A and B are shown apart, each in its own frame.
Chain A
Amino acid sequence: MSSSNSIAVQVRGVTKSFGVGDSRTVALKGVDFSTREGELHLVVGPSGCGKTTLLSVVAGTLDWDGGEIDVLGTRLNGMAKGAVTAFRGKHVGFIFQQFNLIPTLTCIENVSVPLLLNGRHRGEAERRAAELLTTVGLADTGRKRPTELSGGQQQRVAIARALSHEPRLLICDEPTSALDSATGHQIMDLLATAARKPGRCVIIVTHDPRIYGYADRITVMEDGRVTQVLEGEALRHFIETHQ
């Protein structure tokens, strides 16, 4: 079996609810979900259907109620909080709709954070950060603050940050929703390239149909459940009907 076919994330029967009593919301009602390495996998569905919640439990940033989650061959069930944090720091990269760059730090410093968290020295981390900024097309912005940049540029800084420590799993929540169409395509080109890296898997939650064409597979969710998993012909058909 080639590495591009091995399973990166496997979720079985996962449930998650928020709150208690009348305010209780069931966000995930028994979700099965899987992604392969080398894959760019889109999760789509109407607002409130549980996409972000699914992403959060897969990333190990949120506790869930029932079911099993395996990420990159590691079972997250029953893992100590500290171990999950360390696992995230090593293997997971994050990209958010609102970029979440630290405004008081320069772009280079922002990008160097995951490297520093993985024990690299400051000089080495910053040199690597500058290289990464160049590869995302921001060679001259290293000393600038994120707030001096456009939204698309900020998201590119965020991509450089997410990729800096070469994580095997890239988790993106609505990475293009705050951007115009052209900029969104530039961002998706970068993410698609990143996904081609052997052993890596990119999961993108979105309700932006403009980017469906980048998907290798699409998981469709509705009301806390997965309703369709599309690839091949079905995927092409889905993309066409939604454009």
Chain B
Amino acid sequence: MIPPKFDYHRPTSVQEAVQLLQSSPEAKVLAGGHSLIPLMKLRLAAPAAVIDIGRIPDLRGIQALDSGELRIGACTTHHEIATSQAVQRAAPLLAEAAAQIGDRQVRYRGTIGGNLAHADPASDLPAVVVALNATLQAEGPQGSRSIPAAEFFVDLMTTTLQPGEILTQIRVPALGQGTGSCYLKFEHPASGYALCGAAAIVSLNPDGSCAQARLCFNGVSARPVDAAAVAQALVGSDLSDGAIDAAVEDHLRVPDPVGDIHASASYRQELAKALGKRALKAARDRARG
């Protein structure tokens, strides 16, 4: 399997990359290449030019601000995120999800920016950045802009990134004290991609009741699903198993659930219920410490 021909550029700065992208509209950005190269080998993608942003120093690395916020370069690999102590401390949900992506080889090459920009509904990171209220920084001919994660994903493989824009950084606020989180995934046994992935975050009041909750899903719809009604129903509850089960049973609605040869829409909805309950309970247990 040999990709079709293309011109290759390896810019050394974000500015240069944006300029190159502007001067060749048929170009594709290449980060880790672990979604794009397989598509090119199968000839499902045939960009006239490839702009390799994988070595731009500004796009790599993880910085933790004094406020606790994480600033993660778009070209930081899944491996770097999964094994970063700063991420494990401030946003363990992200580290836990990154560690479940693909296999070791994939995690050494694949990047967070590529994963989000690719917007595959079966990917693991989209629902996680939505659950964490992350902000995505993009750079384009008009300068830079911030996009709340909840607004980034538009449809299957479609984001709000405009032609000519590059995702540069992912900003993740730190989870507060008394907060627990959990990412659970039900994999397709052959591909390892998520048939359903559940990202849960639970914060406790001093008396142990639920102060805040968040529950988001990958894999069940064309874009990440934010089960805000479930979270709302949990606030103020005692977070008992019964309270969690009831909140999920009564309030989980998956808009436009996807069904395909691997799993029907109704099966995926059942998976979402089961994984959602389990992820919330695990997050609660971790919050309790």
> Does A pair with B?
no
Question: Which residues on A are within 8 Å of B, measured CB to CB?
Answer: none
